[in-house]
Amino acid sequence: MSLSVELENLAGQFEKELAATSSPEDLEALRVAFMGRKGRLAALMALLGQAPPEERPALGRRANEIKKLFQDLLEGRAAVLRRPAAAAEFFDPSLPGRLPAQGSLHPITLVMNEICALLERIGFEVVSGPEAETDFHNFTALNFPEEHPARAMQDTLYLGGDTLLRTHTSPVQVRAMLEYKKPPLAVIVPGKVYRRDSDLTHTPMFHQIEGLLVDKSVSLADLRGTLAYFARSLFGREVRTRFRPSFFPFTEVSAEVDISCILCGGKGHRGGENCRVCKGAGWLEILGSGMVHPNVFKAVGFDSECTGFAFGLGVERVAMLKYGIGDLRLLFENDVRFLAQFA
């Protein structure tokens, strides 16, 4: 029998005996028998010197190929034999299953969804608009005069010409009135807004929610009732509200709205010390509001007999109050340890 045939027979016999191994010990015995210094492959390779000179290179190459094949097959079989042992060591079928990690909505999203839902219950419709706005929708139609400081480059991010990143969500109110063409309408506008602020208490991008209701006989009492319902629904039935005179170009009369401190209950102190949230005042500023200015109605072509109210709030501030968050930066750092609390 030629040496070439013996090498092929040896390869076939190795694969047959390899399939029959059932333990690492069997595998090691097979390795020694076939690939050891005195193994069967070594014995055949020792006969290469007796082969005709012209056949030796081919036989040598084939012998090395078979040796490499044996090594690969041994490693593969070893991996298969290790699997049951690994499973027995790390898997206990009697243990309870492991639940996959649960994600969560961001606290800002949670607050926006909650506010929109509670206002939808009393008839408001959620609408949206572009974040890149025109000067007309963002300022002119909202009764901002040309010299108003809010138009300055220091506050507003201009994109070129009269296009800018909206500084509030009020432009969507203008768009809603232009689309409806006449009252009644009641809309709520959540979304991102942009201003050139960046410090410990401000970010260049933040979130606002604004509401608008327009009809023929809307009064300040309607505004007060709506915001009282809003505050109690969001922060609890014990919360009280108060209005303070203020100024906004797009409303007249205008008012800042405060709620009684949600930590100290409006007392201004806890445990003999000033409340850390309201700093002893007993009240927290929550939003701005007012009756829609006649110039706004004029800009969108509404009848002079129309009346309405508008209000707006910063979502980050509400989220910080609602969840007791002491640092605004936590809302933007995407720390999973912080966000996991809201799952």
Residue 233 lies in a domain: yes
The predicted model gives 157-174 an average pLDDT of 90
Give the pLDDT band of residue 271 (cuts 50, 70, 90).
confident
Residues 45 and 170 in one domain: no
CA distance 164 to 151: 10
The predicted model gives 9-21 an average pLDDT of 84
Q: Which of 90, 125, 147 is the last residue of a domain?
A: 90
Q: Is the pTM of this model over 0.75?
A: no
| Tens-place pLDDT, residues 214-257 | 998 899 999 999 999 999 998 888 889 999 999 998 999 999 99
Residue 101 lies in a domain: no
Residues 156 and 304 in one domain: yes
CA distance 89 to 76: 21
Predicted pLDDT of residue 87: 47
Residues 80 and 135 in one domain: no
3-state secondary structure string, the chain? CCHHHHHHHHHHHHHHHHHCCCCHHHHHHHHHHHHCCCCHHHHHHHHHHHCCCCCHHHHHHHHHHHHHHHHHHHHHHHHHHHHHHHHHHHCCCCCCCCCCCCCCCCHHHHHHHHHHHHHHCCCCEECCCCCEEEHHHHCHHHCCCCCCHHHCCCCCCEEECCEEECCCCHHHHHHHHHHHCCCCEEEEEEEEEECCCCECCECCEEEEEEEEEEECCCCHHHHHHHHHHHHHHHHCCCCCEEEEECCECCEEEEEEEEEECCCCCCCCEECCEECCCCCCCCEEEEEEEEEECHHHHHHHCCCCCCEEEEEEEEHHHHHHHHHCCCCHHHHCCCCHHHHHHHC
Residue 84 lies in a domain: yes
- Which has the closest alpha carbon to 250: 296, 297, 313, 217? 296
- Which has the closest alpha carbon to 257: 276, 234, 273? 234
Residues 145 and 247 in one domain: yes
Domain of residue 33 covers: 3-90
Q: Which of 63, 90, 117 is the last residue of a domain?
A: 90
Residues 134 and 244 in one domain: yes
User: Quick one: what percent of the chain has pLDDT higher than 90?
Assistant: 36
Residues 26 and 165 in one domain: no
Residues 124 and 27 in one domain: no
Residues 32 and 81 in one domain: yes
Q: Which of 28, 57, 90 is the last residue of a domain?
A: 90
* The two structure tokens encoding residue 142: 């909202």
Number of domains in the chain: 2
Question: Above 80 in pLDDT, residue 289?
Answer: yes
Predicted pLDDT of residue 84: 56
Residue 65 lies in a domain: yes
Predicted pLDDT of residue 189: 95
| Tens-place pLDDT, residues 179-211 | 988 889 999 999 999 988 765 556 788 999 999
Residues 25 and 137 in one domain: no
Looking at beta carbons, which pairs linking 146-149 to residues 24 or more positions away fall under 8 Å?
148/249
Higher pLDDT, 309 or 64: 309
Predicted pLDDT of residue 230: 92
Question: Above 80 in pLDDT, residue 86?
Answer: no
Residue 35 lies in a domain: yes
Residues 299 and 208 in one domain: yes
